[in-house]
Amino acid sequence: MTVAARASTLFADVDAECIPDAPIGQQTWFKIGGRADVLVIPRTIDALATIVSRLSRDGLPMRVLGAGANLLVDDDGIDGVVLSLSAKAFSAMDVERGGANSLIRVGAGKDLFTLLNELARSGLAGLNQLAGIPGSVGGAIRMNAGGHFGDTAQAVQSVEMILPSGAKATFLKDALHFNYRHSGLPAGIVTSATFHVDPTDPTLVRQKHAEIFSWKKSRQPFRENSAGCMYKNPIDRATLERVSAGKLIDSAGLKGLAVGGASVSAHHANFFVVQAGALASDVAQLSEVVSDRVFDHCGIRLEREVVFWKRGGDE
Ligand SMILES: Cc1cc2nc3c(=O)[nH]c(=O)nc-3n(C[C@H](O)[C@H](O)[C@H](O)COP(=O)(O)OP(=O)(O)OC[C@H]3O[C@@H](n4cnc5c(N)ncnc54)[C@H](O)[C@@H]3O)c2cc1C
């Protein structure tokens, strides 16, 4: 029996949509890569909990897709079940106003651009640092998205998850050991997060978002298909400081280097951009070549930030 057939039997009584042979590569920001055996979209948190527990019980591979802004899907697609939190139940936002102790609780499926717009309208600062970063709340928590203006973790109060058993659990920020582009989440799926926010003048929030977004747009190739930075900024062993991976790639003379339809952006060397018709294998090969050439040039081994999904095991 195919995974799709198994999933539709397994979830026949669950409030979820099952889409066999789903072209999820096209749903990523790269817009390349293959299909998932089955994409499952639960409509409620309880449905998600049931799905996760049954998948764990039956040993079927499961992955969760956010907005696909930090993801490369292999050309041959991926095995098992991909879960999407795109249903309405996963994008709600509740505001608890309490002056300096105000909080928002946001569903993990919420799109960051939409969230930032809603926060600006409501006059709530606290997540300004995420202006211009594409993704979902769940993906931002998992990757601890951020940059020059701060990261996701700095605003987190707690994170709610469904664990592989299907149990719901809440983790306070300190238990998650956030670090640079890293979260210490246990296995499972983020369903919502609670953030500290500061009530302030909506015009000021909007201005700050615009300022940060235009800073990013002037430095990153926003009009081309990419997955953001390919590598994390590595730690220089001599200084113990993080150094810009983009600068290392640039100083190795690799801007514009191409494999098939994938190339190192001329605008920002840590962005790989793809043309129509590019293959995921072009991106994967380019990332090997760049990593080796940077190592040869300066002795620093780059670690990939973009998540690669492939059959039989991710990278
Ligand atoms: C143009 C561009 C600019 C970017 N700029 C930045 C930047 O400035 N700073 C930065 O940090 N990043 C940047 N990125 C990368 C990306 O925006 C972030 O990594 C973002 O957090 C990815 O979120 P996502 O929802 O798209 O996750 P996805 O790409 O869908 O998934 C990434 C990983 O998170 C996991 N995940 C997703 N949702 C959940 C969930 N609910 N529970 C558990 N795990 C989950 C996935 O399984 C996967 O392992 C950029 C990307 C692009 C395309």
Residue nearest to atom 36 of ligand 1 (CA): 139
Residue 146 Cβ contacting ligand 1 at under 6 Å: yes
Residue type, 163: L
For residue 9, report the distance from its CA to the centre of ligand 1, in Å: 31
The answer to whether 304 and 283 have CB atoms below 8 angstroms apart is no
Pocket test for ligand 1, best of 143, 229, 233, 271 (most atoms within 8 A of CB): 143
Ligand 1 neighbourhood includes 246 CB (under 6 angstroms): no
Print the SS3 string covering 19-47: EEEECHHHHCCCCCCCCEEEEEEECCHHH
Pick from 307, 124, 149: which is nearest to 215 by CA? 149
With a 6 A CB cut-off, is 136 part of the ligand 1 pocket? yes
pLDDT band at 10 (very low <50, low <70, confident <90, very high): confident
Whether 108 contacts 189, CB under 8 Å: yes
Span 248-288, pLDDT tens digits: 999 999 999 999 999 999 999 999 999 999 999 999 999 99
Under CATH, which architecture does the 91-217 domain have? 2-Layer Sandwich (3.30)
**Nearest residue CA, atom 52 of ligand 1?**
228
Which tokens hold the place of 165? 């058993």
The structure's pTM equals 0.96
* Token couple for 162: 């469904």
Ligand 1 midpoint to CA 110 (Å): 12
Q: Considering the chain, what is the average pLDDT of its residues? A: 96
Cα(161)–Cα(22) distance, integer angstroms: 25
pLDDT of residue 6: 84
**For a pocket test of ligand 1, which of 133, 178, 180, 224 has the largest count of ligand atoms closer than 8 A to its C-beta?**
133
Over residues 63-75, the pLDDT tens digits come to: 999 999 999 999 9
CB of residue 71 inside a 6 A radius of ligand 1: yes
Domains 91-217 and 221-315 share a fold: no
Find, among 67, 81, 64, 65, the residue nearest to 11 by Cα. 81
Q: For residues 164 and 253, give the distance between their C-alpha atoms in angstroms, rounded to a whole number.
A: 45
CA atoms within 13 A on the CB side of 66: 26
Q: What is d(CA 168, CA 48) in angstroms, rounded to the nearest whole number?
A: 10
67 Cβ closer than 6 Å to some ligand 1 atom? yes
Q: Please, are residues 273 and 286 in contact by the beta-carbon 8 Å criterion?
A: no
* 36: nearest Cα among 79, 69, 83, 85: 79
Average pLDDT over residues 100-114: 97
User: How high is the pLDDT of residue 186?
Assistant: 96
Instruction: Indicate the helix (H) or strand (E) that contains 308.
Output: strand 307-309
Q: Is the CB of 29 under 6 A from ligand 1?
A: yes
Task: Assess whether pLDDT exceeds 80 at residue 313.
Answer: no
Collapse the DSSP code of 305 into the 3-class scheme (helix H, G, I; strand E, B; otherwise coil) and give the result: coil
Residue spans of the domains in the chain: they are 3-88, 91-217, 221-315
**Which two tokens mark 305?**
């930030």
Quote the CA–CA distance of 315 and 306 in Å, as a whole number: 9
H helix runs in the chain, sequence order: 3-10, 45-58, 112-122, 137-143, 202-217, 245-251, 280-298
What CATH number has the domain spanning 221-315?
3.90.78.10
The residue whose CB lies within 8 Å of the most ligand 1 atoms, and thus the one to mutate among 41, 70, 213, 267, is 70
Select from 3.40.50.1220, 1.10.3720.10, 3.40.190.10, 3.30.43.10 the CATH code of 3-88.
3.30.43.10
- Which pLDDT does position 314 carry in this prediction? 67
The mean-pLDDT minimum among 3-12, 16-25, 207-216, 270-279 falls in: 3-12
- Three-state DSSP at 24 gives helix
- Ligand 1 contacts CB of residue 145 (under 6 A): yes
> 159 CB less than 6 Å from ligand 1?
no
* C-alpha–C-alpha distance, residues 224 and 104, integer Å: 33
